[in-house]
Amino acid sequence: MSASASTGLQVLRSNWRLFGLGLLVSVLAHLAFAGLALWPRRKVEERVVAVVEVRYEKTPFSVMPPRLSRDFAFRKQAVPTGTPVVRSRTQRTTTIVGSGRGGLQLGVPASRLWSSHGGSADFQVAVGGLAVAEGLIGMPQFESVAIGSMKEPERRIDMQAEFLDLESINTGKYKGMVIQDPTDKRNVKGFVYLALAWGSVLQPSRQRAVAQLVRAINTYTSIRAEVDDQIFLDSQDLFRAPFVYITTSRAFELTAHEAANLARYLRSGGFVVADNDQPHLEYGPAEASLRAMFRQALGRDARFVQLGNEHPLYHIFFDFEGGPPPGGESSVGANAVTGKASPVPYLEGIYLGDRLVAVYSDKGYGAFWEKEFENEPHLKMGVNLVVFALTQRGSIAEQQIDYYNQAGR
Is 47 inside a domain boundary? Answer: no
Are residues 190 and 123 both part of a single domain? no
- Taking the C-alpha atoms of residue 297 and residue 288, their distance in angstroms, rounded to an integer, is 14
Where residue 93 falls among pLDDT bands split at 50, 70, 90?
very low
Is 347 inside a domain boundary? Answer: yes
Are residues 165 and 255 both part of a single domain? yes
Coil, strand or helix at 383: helix
Q: What pLDDT was estimated at residue 203?
A: 92
User: Using one digit for the tens of pLDDT, what is the confidence trace for 394-409?
Assistant: 999 888 777 666 655 5
Are residues 99 and 189 both part of a single domain? no
Are residues 366 and 218 both part of a single domain? yes
Is 339 inside a domain boundary? Answer: yes
Is 362 inside a domain boundary? Answer: yes
Is 402 inside a domain boundary? Answer: yes
Are residues 356 and 268 both part of a single domain? yes
Q: What pLDDT was estimated at residue 18?
A: 76
Are residues 119 and 260 both part of a single domain? no
User: Using one digit for the tens of pLDDT, what is the confidence trace for 264-284?
Assistant: 999 999 999 999 999 989 889
Are residues 113 and 165 both part of a single domain? no
Is 39 inside a domain boundary? Answer: no
CATH number, residue 273: 3.40.50.12140
Phi/psi of residue 230, each to 5°?
-60, 145
User: Using one digit for the tens of pLDDT, what is the confidence trace for 159-217?
Assistant: 344 445 666 667 667 788 888 888 999 999 999 999 899 999 999 999 899 999 999 99
Domain count, the chain: 2
Phi/psi of residue 351, each to 5°?
-105, 145
| H helix or E strand, kind and range, residue 20 | helix 16-38
pTM over the 0.85 mark: no
Q: What pLDDT was estimated at residue 340?
A: 52
Is residue 97's pLDDT more than 80? Answer: no
Q: What pLDDT was estimated at residue 45?
A: 55
Domain holding 109, by residue range, is: 87-127
Coil, strand or helix at 237: helix
Are residues 121 and 171 both part of a single domain? no
Are residues 253 and 355 both part of a single domain? yes
Is residue 145's pLDDT more than 50? Answer: no
Using CA atoms, how far residue 262 sits from 78, 135, 166, 177, in Å, is 36, 72, 28, 21
Are residues 221 and 361 both part of a single domain? yes
Where residue 25 falls among pLDDT bands split at 50, 70, 90?
confident
Q: Closest Cα partner for 195 from 223, 170, 217, 227?
A: 227
- Taking the C-alpha atoms of residue 75 and residue 77, their distance in angstroms, rounded to an integer, is 7
Using CA atoms, how far residue 174 sits from 46, 339, 397, 398, 404, in Å, is 73, 44, 8, 11, 10
Q: Are strands 222-227 and 184-194 parallel, antiparallel or unpaired?
A: parallel
Are residues 290 and 350 both part of a single domain? yes
Which one of 28-42, 143-157, 207-221 scores highest in mean pLDDT?
207-221
Is 80 inside a domain boundary? Answer: no
Q: What pLDDT was estimated at residue 40?
A: 61
Q: Closest Cα partner for 397 from 179, 182, 226, 217?
A: 179
Is 268 inside a domain boundary? Answer: yes
Q: Are strands 244-248 and 272-276 parallel, antiparallel or unpaired?
A: parallel
Are residues 227 and 273 both part of a single domain? yes
